[in-house]
Amino acid sequence: MDGQQKRAWVVGASSGIGAAVALKLADAGYLVAASARNETALDRLATEAGGSVRAYPVDIRDGESVGRTLGEIEETMGPVDLAVFAAGIYRRDEPGRFAADLVAKTVDVNLMGTSHCLDAVLGRMVPRRSGHVAIIASVSGYAGLPGGGVYGATKSALITLAEAIYPELKEKGIAVSVINPGFVQTPLTDQNDFPMPFMISAEDAAGRIVRGLQSRRFEIAFPKRMVYLLKLLRLLPYPLFFAVTKKMLRADRV
């Protein structure tokens, strides 16, 4: 293969934002390793990309499998220049009932799964003193919103993690980006039965993400109106903050 061609690893590439980013990176000239649990969906994506995307199925909840998969990717494709971690699960908190099992499942994928990927890729990028890691979090990580406490908690943790590792990794020649989308039309948001303002398509989101990655920005957040509103909400004193979030309560809460 052309030694000048850059290589990307996109995790969570079976659908939604991850699949759209994989295709957008392939269009930008990357050779893309696409990972997710759904091997059939990955094969369809690879076929659609016409050779620029290769399927490497993996369950990111298994750290050893993640490490082996990355080893296979680098053995067959070469060193990964850019890693995009888009895998995640979401289920709206149920009204009136806190479910610890939902917390465990969401943390296992969104936080621990991403951590397994970081562990594997940084173990290879740090010795090379080069690379770029991008973590897809969410604007829901800015503030605690009714119905999104569990999902938002994992995304807030990812934002904090990205902020914490940025300074040291920059000194080692590795860029870190955190991606905070608002509502994007994906299989995750298709399950929602409430208004989702400023919704954009996965293809639109992928274009914004890839442009942000090319500029190596730390935070890539969109759409701007939702970003500004939620960041402003976070700055309010708690009495005002809760006055706003109370309006988000569902009528069917128990």
Distance separating alpha carbons of residues 150 and 171, to the nearest angstrom:
33
Catalytic residue among 30, 56, 151, 238: 151
141 pairs with which residues across the strands? Answer: none
Among 154, 140, 149, 132, residue whose Cα is nearest residue 216: 132
CA dist., res. 183 & res. 214, Å (int): 23
Quote the DSSP letter at residue 144. Answer: -
The answer to whether the beta carbons of residues 207 and 179 sit under 8 Å apart is no
Query: Which strand (E) or helix (H) includes residue 126?
Result: helix 114-128
Cα torsion at 116, 135, 196, 37 (round to 10°)? -40
Closest CA to 137 of 163, 119, 102, 170: 163
Longest dimension (CA), the chain: 60
Local structure of residue 94 (DSSP, 8 states): P
State yes or no: is 142 an active-site residue: no
By annotation, the residues acting in catalysis are 151
